[in-house]
Amino acid sequence: MEKLRQPSLRDAAGLLADVTRHWPMAKGSLAEVRKPCVRANCPVCASGRRHRAFLFSLTEKGRRRCLYVPAALVPTLRQAIANGRWMEEQMRRTGVRLIEEHRCARRQRPSACQGGAS
């Protein structure tokens, strides 16, 4: 029987380079909210407009957690979340491709297995 190919190992070097380009990565979501502050006689709160704030939500050990995000960090965190979603997509594709290539190789037509999932 022909040895099965190892697509995850074959592609590891390229993936590592892509991971480096997509760093930092974060898993969670970012939301903009409007909140009242604690200052007495705040004109913004008195007008009803409230203050803009950003919350980062994540799940830790099955529990939801929210953290305030400093405004200066919002663009970086937004990019990190997008990068994290990119990574999840890579993992999803790899799982599907491993199974498809395994099935293909078991049919003993490895030359037909080049495409894989995209």
- Using CB under 5 A, list all residues that contact Zn ion: 37, 42, 44-45
Closest CB 71 distance from Zn ion, rounded Å: 15
Closest CB 70 distance from Zn ion, rounded Å: 17
In this complex, which beta carbon is closest to Zn ion, that of residue 12 or of residue 37? Answer: 37
Query: In this structure, what token pair is assigned to residue 89?
Result: 């997509």
Q: How far is residue 87's CA from residue 92's CA, in Å, rounded to a whole number?
A: 9
Closest CB 80 distance from Zn ion, rounded Å: 29
| H or E stretch covering 72 | none
Q: In what order do the strands lie in the sheet with 51-60?
A: 29-35, 51-60, 63-69
CB 59 within 8 A of CB 44: no
In this complex, which beta carbon is closest to Zn ion, that of residue 17 or of residue 37? Answer: 37
In this complex, which beta carbon is closest to Zn ion, that of residue 43 or of residue 70? Answer: 43
